A and B are shown apart, each in its own frame.
Chain A
């Protein structure tokens, strides 16, 4: 028998106390904490502020029409069961759910409009499978492009296509925003061409694997139909040798004509950008000309490139300048933000032949209204370009701010007449849906009825809107009239 020491006697265990049953927390927060770990659920004001916005730094008055622009709860989910639980609570309590990836679109794509639950999917960031033989990868939606490329690189593979916001975006977010154009897409094809299947959970809590044409519904759906749980993507052999050639142009027409001709060549660039000298000033200043065209090719450049650009008045800007253009591919369009209080912008998806008309008009507005405008264009497909029209504004200067917004609105109306459409929809551009995507609107309304009949997922965008095109149009007409009037009656 074991000797019993004094110490042990002193430590005779007391009867195990009966654990008192905790009262069930029936509040929404309590319900959410029951399905997701407590530390990943919060209603703290600070976190709600952080999870309700995106990198756009527009003043509050711009957001007033958005209604309840702060979410009520923030939930960071790590698996499918948690998403299912959150959606169930949302349906039962009729609370909106705003799925959120990297929140890098700047168009309020993942910003609430009626409070609700900000559902952060970034913790779902596993690379599930890399299949080198069949050249595909399966990932969770919160995977960053850097992480994905690191894993693919180990197998000698690459995704090959990236949004320009790749440093902060995640795969699921790019799918929800459409992924039509980006770095690599003129050569490898769009994100749609790469998406082999999506696993999604509808607003009803049903999980489905989507393939074929139905994938189109979820691309550019902004999370209004369901939450993406898994993505299967086509991948390519890793390429490491790229050559960039950059040309300066004195005339806008020469630049745009050269861009159209280069885009139509058989050998496609992985990256083709155009920009004005104002934008270049903040990234890679040009010494010759007012505009720049930079094209990057895998291995050797297109032999006809030099001939075409020279024919349209282009001047080669040198190897150092050209290499820097490729190095800055993820940064160039964001660089001006460092130098302004608010970088206001509108992104337009446009047939390449219409780019000249649009830019000519924008430059004309820039001069007539004296706004600090600048622009950037990136070839998305051999036929389409994403044109980013920007204005560097101090938002405290209300009239200037509204005037610039008005010009961007006018530019969008002009784009619509020229076969262009808003590149990103989100909360801000949903007013253009009826005019830009009439067929898509009908299709998405039907899909919304099927996938999320209770309307809990990301309300007030794509299929519905808090305001209307006419109201906004009238507002800008009045603002323009007021601006003109102010010239005569003083400030």
Chain B
């Protein structure tokens, strides 16, 4: 945020200074303080901070506290949270009834202990994505179903500091999972995965559902030799999603899959793994121009490498990177789709 906006108020140090001042020395924090705490939560500053300050948690707690003490939430964000409450998705204009359109023709098993959590992006914007996950799991002989009544994972509520709304969403989803007899959830969305795996157990202390990301499942199959790929020419780099990478430490699994594709030359960007730069996707909720600018910066890093394309695991990263690479020669690829395209079904069958 600081690199783009150039104000110390948008730097982690500046925000901490302001929070400290208003918490200890001054009264009546201005409304702007709350607004400035809404960043991409990409955790890049945590990775670089020599003092290891857990700023993401601090921003969350501060947002919650400021809202409780009467700080006004931005109108646009309020609208999103209201829409989640009524329609179970942050995408204003989309309705709960349309959430499962992606699954209608797939003949998924009515009951299964493994459920695909399609997430809002997968359900409404990129229905091919959960469909790809279904195809992939079927090739691996995993009979995954889905929970028709799932709602948004709650990432937006958590990010907004709306603890009450988050708790409601978590409890609603958990009750539905239990009702459906689910004990494993597979998702292809980094944001949903992070929220389910990292934050749900804080609300449900005896949370007993295993949360898996598709890359973990598939990397395991690659390691076991169950999943092999047909060849592919070209030099490609990988963009670490913030949710999957810095938040949950999943760096190796996607790389193992990519490097198992014969003929594909894999090149790391200079800023990779915990030092990876954010794609800016999440910022589109706040400021589309800022989101584009951050995305262009990440695309430029890949361009500098002279690669043919960027592979990513996250739908949101895919969306923002492909949009910002539209005027370049770079191809942006979703890892799930690449796997489905290159997986050798015959070997999977074995």
Contacts and interface: CB of A to CB of B under 8 A. Distances in A.
Contact of B13 (A45, A120, A168, A335): A168
Interface in B1-51: 6-9, 13-15, 17-18, 20-22, 24-26, 29-30, 32-33, 36, 48, 50-51
A60 B50 contact: no
A47 B9 contact: yes
B222 interface: no
Contacts of A167: 48, 50
B25 to A, nearest CB: 5
A53 interface: yes
Interface in A44-77: 44-47, 49-51, 53, 55, 57, 59-60, 76
Nearest to B10: A50
Contacts of B33: 46
Contacts of B26: 45, 49
Contacts of B70: none
Interface in B59-116: none
A331 interface: yes
Contact of A44 (B8, B20, B32): B32
Contacts of B345: none
Interface string A309-349: 00000000000000000000011001101100000000000
Interface residues of B, number: 25
Given A53-B17, A55-B13, A334-B51, A76 B24 contact: no
B234 interface: no
Contacts of A335: 50-52
A116 to B, nearest CB: 17
Interface string A152-170: 0000000000000001100
Interface residues of A, number: 25
B7 A47 contact: yes
A44 B30 contact: yes
B8 A120 contact: yes
Contacts of B30: 44-46
Residues of B contacting A: mostly: helix
Contacts of A59: 24
A49 B21 contact: yes
A55 B45 CA distance: 14
Nearest to B32: A46
B53 interface: yes
Contacts of B21: 49, 53
B10 to A, nearest CB: 9
A120 B7 CA distance: 9
Contacts of B29: 46
Nearest to A154: B304
A46 B51 contact: no
A331 B7 contact: no
Contacts of A55: 13
B350 to A, nearest CB: 41
A285 interface: no
A44 B13 CA distance: 18
A330 B26 CA distance: 33
A381 B25 CA distance: 41
A60 B51 contact: no
A103 B13 CA distance: 10
A93 B191 CA distance: 53
A442 B252 CA distance: 60
Contacts of B50: 167, 330-331, 334-335, 337
Interface string B198-229: 00000000000000000000000000000000
18 contacts: A44-B30, A46-B36, A49-B22, A50-B9, A50-B14, A50-B15, A60-B25, A103-B13, A123-B6, A167-B50, A168-B13, A334-B50, A335-B50, A335-B51, A337-B51, A337-B52, A338-B51, A338-B53
